[in-house]
Amino acid sequence: MYNALEALKRAGTVSELTITREVAHYDAGPPSHPHFLCRSCGELYDLELPCALRPGDEVLGHRIEAVQMSLYGICRTCQDRHEAHSYI
């Protein structure tokens, strides 16, 4: 499986995420989109942000070749679960 993932990475079909050190995550979704990792349940979400940068864009004269944005926090489900238990 490792060789297949490496081949897919080289082909640009899959990207390896560096969102955690403990577990390798791979994404075949649209290129250069942000990810959100819930620190409570460990769920990983794809996000669509209104001001996403893409490879090929330029920022202050710098040409972007790759983008990897990781956001960390508590997901909506875990927040709702916590609020529901706090009223009991």
Q: Per residue in 18-37, pLDDT tens?
A: 787 777 777 776 667 788 99
- 59 Cβ neighbours under 8 A, 6+ residues apart: 53
- For residue 42, which of 3, 66, 72, 11 has the smallest C-alpha distance? 72
Contacts of 19 (CB under 8 A, 6+ apart): 25, 35, 37, 44, 70
User: Does the pLDDT value for residue 50 go beyond 90?
Assistant: no
Among candidates 55, 22, 20, which has minimal Cα distance to 35?
20
pTM over 0.75? The answer is no
